[in-house]
Amino acid sequence: MRLRRSRNMTCYWHEGLFVLHPYPHGTPTAMHPAVAEILAAFEDWTGRAEAAKALDHIDPETLEEAVLALLGAGALLAEDSPEARRDAETAETWGQWAPEAPFFHYVTQDVLLGRHEETGGTPQADRADRADRADRADQVDRADSAAMPPLFTRYEDGPRIPLPRRPADLRIPYEQVLYGRRTHRDFAPGPVARSVLATLLATTFGPVDFIDCGVGGLFRRTSPAGGSRQEIDAYVGVLGVEDVAPGWYHYNALEHSLELRTEGLARERAAHLAADQEWAGRAAFLVVLAARLERMSVKYPTPRGYRVCTLNCGHLGQTFALTATALGLGPAQTGAFHDTLVAEACALDNSGHTPLYLLAAGHPVTGGEGRDTPPPATLDTFRITRLQD
């Protein structure tokens, strides 16, 4: 029986141990780092005797033991086995996204979220959870409560702009908003009113109400959020907003204010931050969604929690787009941006507090399609389009 090294495997040191982590079939296994040399001898389908020849400086018994352990861990695969077929298929399917994307995807698959996950975050379930917790020593709850990060981010010392509280009109029929939403890449010049920006920020990121999670309060927004952790903060890059100087601000959702992070923002710079996409420089403002990771990880200690952060961004992005549309603005969004530069612009450490998504909006151009609007599909388009399998 010939053997081959798994094509889908990441190796790393964790807590002082060398770990082989094959996916999706294998299990993470701590082994001596010298096994890397043995795995290299099985680069392609290789018989054990042939490998032993190439590894003749290793005692044959030790080698056999290591090979069995590597087979058991799924790091070596047997020719024509279902595991080997799946391994080849996975490597081919994920292609250039490997190893980063499939590794994260599979190692967080079937991994439950961790502490409190059984509550599902619902008030009813949380209440049951609370009842259980009441039976525990009081000091445990107090310790839990003290360990909870603050619900809202606030920058004490910087200059701030309190935003108007009177909301701009949002009473436009839902159907018009839903079907009227489009991604805009061209924007009319002229600043957006401060009250319109204020309404968009409050509606998308502001608290709607507060709930009791058993170890303190949480707040809810107009978008659903995993465990109601609200780990996503909003940072606004102002290019053209009435009475707000260009620069980067944090939206303080509790206070409903803009807190200055860094001064100045040129349109060319905005485009550069968005991976050199010119439309971002034409917008009236950008909004960076940045995760404050500890708000999520304190409740969900497994890496799957990171998936939930990105899902939450998607929800907020959609609410942003629909609300911007209802306010007469053109929304846009991108996952392509210079993370490090964006973090710097927002004065974020980019470790515990890191950008995940970039949104934008401005006045849409009227009476024309605007630059960079994709043309409608024609008969010729459909001639070269495979509509179904």
Residues forming contacts to ligand FMN in the complex (CB under 6 A) are 182-183, 185, 277, 333-336
Least Cβ distance, residue 1 to ligand FMN (angstroms): 46
Least Cβ distance, residue 223 to ligand FMN (angstroms): 14
Structure tokens at 162: 């309190």
Residue 108 or 373 having the CB closest to ligand FMN: 373
Residue 160 or 181 having the CB closest to ligand FMN: 181
Least Cβ distance, residue 178 to ligand FMN (angstroms): 11
Contact 333, 319 (CB under 8 A): no
Q: For the range 111-115, what are the long-range contacts, defined as Cβ-Cβ under 8 Å and sequence gap of 24 or more?
A: 111/302, 111/303, 111/304, 112/302, 112/304, 113/227, 113/300, 113/302, 113/304, 113/305, 113/308, 114/299, 114/300, 114/301, 114/302, 114/305, 115/299, 115/300, 115/301
In 3D space, the residue among 94, 31, 15, 42 whose CA is nearest the CA of residue 66 turns out to be: 31
Residue type, 86: R
For the chain, helix, strand, coil in percent to 5 are 40, 20, 40
What residues pair up with 237 in beta bridges, in sequence order?
A: 248, 286
Least Cβ distance, residue 181 to ligand FMN (angstroms): 7
Beta strands in 81-227 (DSSP E): 160-162, 209-212, 217-220
Tell me which DSSP letter residue 192 carries: B
Least Cβ distance, residue 319 to ligand FMN (angstroms): 13
Least Cβ distance, residue 323 to ligand FMN (angstroms): 15
- Would you give the distance in Å from CA 72 to the centre of its chain? 34
Contact 160, 256 (CB under 8 A): no
Least Cβ distance, residue 16 to ligand FMN (angstroms): 38
Sequence-distant (≥ 6) Cβ neighbours of residue 307 within 8 angstroms:
108
In 3D space, the residue among 253, 190, 233 whose CA is nearest the CA of residue 347 turns out to be: 233
Least Cβ distance, residue 290 to ligand FMN (angstroms): 16
Least Cβ distance, residue 331 to ligand FMN (angstroms): 8
Residue 257 or 373 having the CB closest to ligand FMN: 373
Residue 218 or 308 having the CB closest to ligand FMN: 308
Residue 223 or 277 having the CB closest to ligand FMN: 277
Sequence-distant (≥ 6) Cβ neighbours of residue 203 within 8 angstroms:
167, 170, 222, 319, 323
Residue 222 or 318 having the CB closest to ligand FMN: 318
In 3D space, the residue among 184, 163, 205, 169 whose CA is nearest the CA of residue 327 turns out to be: 169
